[in-house]
Amino acid sequence: MSDLKIINLVKNFQGMNRPAVNNVNLDINSGELVAFLGPSGCGKTTILKMITGLFDPDNGDITLDDKTLLTTPTEKRGVVMVFQNYLLFPYMNVNENVGFALKMKGIEQSIIDTKVREMLDLVKLPDIGLRKPKQLSGGQQQRVALARALIATPRLLLLDEPLSNLDAHLRDEMRELIVTIQKKLNVTTIFVTHDQEEAVLLADKIALIFDGELQNYTSPKNYYERPKNTKAAKFFGGVNFIKTKKNNNQLESELGNLIYDGNNIDELEIENIVTIRPENIKISDKDEYDHNSFKGLIKSVIFSGTHTRYKILIKNIELECSLQSVGINNIKENDEIYVHLPKNKIWGMND
């Protein structure tokens, strides 16, 4: 078991007008892969460094299986961190880099050699053991860094922007490899990223962090379908926001009355905001629905391959709609169309 708890965690740095990490609370279950997501400077890596012991928190606690880590030396925490820039030893070959942690523990060389081969097979690099880091590509160096971390059988694996230095093709490969290895070894893993797509593709849960504060902690699906606030919705590509006023189970808006099917209607304040993702809006040349249907004008059409994006003006509100490009060539700029907002696809928020 490797259940991690972050409790009221605070970290201040001199010269900052706010805490780098401000009262963060998180529970991460054993075997989960969790993403710390947010813009640069939001405190993601600072939390990782407090977990490893590189930084001491100013307040709060970090526990692993209900035992505090704060009084445990870094090397005895069972926590391994893979840094963004790999930090391989340039004067050692790959075998020596991967086996370094075991050598420092005084383990017999024949055992180290066996474990190194196992780790290099695991990261799909079985034949590069005698090469130096400078002879490797960026993707290969990242895999070696991962193998070096995993050979120590960590209780907790931390990955700091693990894919940021790779090109698009290698990022796809490394995503698959990280997920495969993480699930195979069942190691509790946290990775830091500022890329929401990467977080969605990799993580069981996402901790969204802005300005040192945890904004939301939930599954990737919820960020798309039930964002906590407009800031979270925008970070995940939300572009459609409509101011509304609650009236029983209906929402009054400039578009007209909206029938709302969200299960949080009682939590909404009288004045609130609803959002709907572009791909969930339906458009047609006829009024085919008995609710949430409004007449609009196509302001622009942007073809992007598999999908076409439309900007639609309804009264004074502009909405974006994204549809598959096949079969919709007849819709063009300045056409009048009907827009339908499915009641189970709109989501209300208090800001």
Same domain, 68 and 165: yes
108 burial via Cβ count (<10 Å: 0-12, 13-18, 19+): exposed
Q: Is 93 domain-assigned?
A: yes
Average pLDDT value for residue range 288-293: 89
Residues 168 and 219 in one domain: yes
Task: Provide the 8-state DSSP code for 256.
Answer: -
Tell me, yes or no, whether 311 and 195 share the same domain: no
CATH number of the domain bearing residue 138:
3.40.50.300
Please identify, among 197, 225, 253, the residue that sits at the C-terminal boundary of a domain.
225
Question: How far is Cα 311 from Cα 9, in angstroms, rounded to an integer?
Answer: 43
Confidence tier at 15 by pLDDT (50, 70, 90): confident
From the number of C-beta atoms within 10 Å of its C-beta (0-12, 13-18, 19+), residue 56 rates as: exposed
161 and 266 belong to one structural domain? no
pLDDT at 255 over 80: yes
Amino acid at 306: T
Q: Is there a single domain that holds both residue 173 and residue 78? A: yes
Q: What percent of the chain has pLDDT over 70?
A: 99
> How does pLDDT run across 87-132, given as a tens digit for each residue?
899 999 999 999 999 998 899 999 999 999 999 999 999 989 999 9
243 and 289 share a domain? yes
Tell whether 230 is covered by a domain: no
Q: pTM for this one? A: 0.88
* Residue range of the domain that includes 300: 238-349
| Residues 6+ away with beta carbon under 8 Å from 127 | none
Domain limit, last residue, from 225, 256, 284? 225
Residues shown for the chain = 351
Q: Is residue 233 part of a domain?
A: no
Task: Assess whether pLDDT exceeds 70 at residue 329.
Answer: no
pLDDT in tens, 50-89: 999 999 999 999 999 999 999 999 989 999 999 888 889 9
Query: Is residue 251 domain-shared with residue 279, that is, in the same domain?
Result: yes
- Same domain membership, residue 260 and residue 171: no
Mean pLDDT of 163-177: 83
C-alpha neighbours within 13 Å on the C-beta side of residue 309: 10
SS3 73: coil
Residue 139's pLDDT band, with cuts at 50, 70 and 90, is confident
231 located within any domain: no
d(CA 342, CA 277): 11
Q: Would 250 be classed as within a structural domain?
A: yes
- Helical (H) or strand (E) element with 193: strand 188-193
* pLDDT score of 22 more than 90: yes
Binned at pLDDT 50, 70 and 90, residue 27 comes out as very high
With respect to residue 45, please indicate whether it lies within any of the assigned structural domains.
yes
Q: What proportion of the chain, given as a percentage, has pLDDT over 90? A: 75
- Split into its structural domains, the chain has a count of 2
Which CATH number does the domain housing residue 272 bear? 2.40.50.100
Residue 97, CA distances (Å) to 43, 74, 176, 288, 309 in order: 30, 20, 23, 65, 49
Domain end (from 201, 225, 249) = 225
Tell me what the pLDDT averaged over the chain comes to.
92
Residue 1: per-residue pLDDT: 64
Rg of the Cα trace of the chain?
25
DSSP H helical segments within the chain, as ranges?
44-52, 94-104, 109-122, 138-150, 168-185, 196-202, 220-225, 230-235
Residues 212 and 294 in one domain: no
Residue 328 pLDDT level (bands cut at 50, 70, 90): low
Of the candidates 266, 233, 253, the one whose C-alpha atom is nearest the C-alpha of residue 317 is 253
Q: Do 159 and 192 form a contact (C-beta atoms < 8 A)?
A: yes
**DSSP conformation class of 300:** E
Same-domain check for residues 213 and 246:
no
- Find the mean pLDDT for residues 188-206: 93
- For residues 122 and 17, membership in a common domain is answered with yes
